[in-house]
Amino acid sequence: MAKKGRFTEFGEAIRNFWNSPGIPSFIEILEKGLDKELFFDPDKTDSQIPKEDLPIDFRLRQSGLFRKFYERVFPVSHLFRITHRYGREFLDNFMPLSAENYIGRGSYKFVYTLPWNQVVKIGKSKLPSDPIFGSLFKEVQNNLERYLKPEEIGLMHLLQSSSWRESKRDEIRFKFARLGLERLHYWKLKSLIPDLVLPTRYFMGLRFRKSPLGIPVMTLTPCDNQNLLPGKHLKEFIRLNEKVRQNPIQDALFPKWKLNFDTHRFGIVSKSKLKKIALDFHRVIEVTKYLAKEEKLIFDIHSENIIITIPDFELKIFDYHVFDEHLYEPSKENPSPEVDHINLIREFVDSFELG
């Protein structure tokens, strides 16, 4: 009995330690240094980075006819960060948006440049059935107070209380849980390779569009912003000059090429810089292996997620999503899905011919 009492006291001591106000919370750790990293002085804004120096995939800038028509009828106007202060909704950090500043889209976000050499990424609407909402989303949903700031939870409750429909209240909670999920995905990588991951701030945004009748159309959506870096997507450094031999049908319909690094694509890259890039890629491989083996998560790494900065030629990752392993279909060659990602990186690094 005395032994059980000692274990109870020990458990209580551990709980008191973790609940101590001196121990930083997940979000405090996550946002440490972001004020400094993402600070800008509107009166001392640097000249804009030329568009030709931006890591833009111009294919992603193209939209279908319906999307183009929608953008003309309801042009995007601006974005605010929305939170909860003084017992009500509170808007701050005005961000002007326009079709001219739209630089691309990913699977989950639209991206716009801001006048102060930053980008803002505005979350697309997604159904709960999307593969991104796997086990990590359940973790966030069950522990919202861990992944959202108190003022964000306050805002969620305020917005829910003003809605009559239960479906609308569920939709609001879903959006706030997604905000927490984006933070968790970011943290998974930031904690493992902090110098390669671009500092990112996540927030709930209120986006405005202009309607033909002059009534603003408002959308509550998770957003994030980052500093804008001059550089190029990884695939812009790829030279396709050697075809991979397959069967005749695959060669005709689905040709494959060896990935070779073009050292002259944007200026000559020195051997020392190539070695640094190769080392950083190997670190990304180790992180991908670790997440797959220890957490059964697949780091969704693609050439669109990585940039090589110019003129420094440093590797930076600016888009972060991890998925449950069972949501990926293994290929015939690689029964473990993360191997496809790893082999792609290895093939690319091998083309550096560093020995």
Over the stretch 60-116, which tens digit does the pLDDT of each residue have? 777 778 888 888 899 999 999 999 999 999 999 999 999 989 988 888 999 999 989
Domain membership of residue 18 (yes or no) is no
Residue 172 confidence (pLDDT) above 90: yes
Mean pLDDT (the chain, rounded)? 85
CA atoms 54, 349, 184, 180: torsion sign = positive
Domain for residue 216, yes or no?
yes
Residue 17 belongs to a domain: no
Q: Is the pLDDT of residue 228 over 60?
A: yes
pLDDT > 70: percent of the chain: 85
Which DSSP state fits 299? E
Answer yes or no: are the C-beta atoms of 98 and 209 closer than 8 Å.
no
Indicate whether 328 pLDDT > 80. no
Q: Is residue 327 part of a domain?
A: yes
On whether the CB atoms of residues 195 and 71 are closer than 8 A, the answer is no
Beta-bridge mates of residue 217: 209
Report yes or no on 24 lying in a domain.
no
Is 4 a residue whose pLDDT tops 60? no
Classify residue 13: in a domain, yes or no.
Answer: no
Residue 122, strand partner residues: 110, 223
Confidence of residue 24 (pLDDT cuts 50, 70, 90): confident
Q: How far is Cα of residue 227 from the mean position of the Cα atoms in its chain?
A: 13
E strand or H helix that includes residue 218: strand 217-227
Instruction: Render pLDDT for 100-109 as a digit per residue (tens, 0 to 9).
Output: 899 888 889 9
Q: What is the pLDDT of residue 60?
A: 74
pLDDT of res. 333:
67
Alpha-carbon gap, residue 354 to 271, rounded angstroms: 8
Structurally, how many domains does the chain consist of? 1
Q: Which domain holds residue 101?
A: 64-351
Indicate the pLDDT class of residue 10, thresholds 50, 70 and 90: low
Sign for the CA dihedral angle at 185, 296, 306, 127 comes to negative
The whole-model pTM stands at: 0.85
**The total number of residues written for the chain in this structure:** 355
Q: Does residue 286 lie in a domain region?
A: yes
Residue 49 clears pLDDT 60, i.e. is over it: yes
The residue ranking higher by pLDDT, 295 or 332, is 295
Confidence of residue 282 (pLDDT cuts 50, 70, 90): very high
34 lies in some domain: no
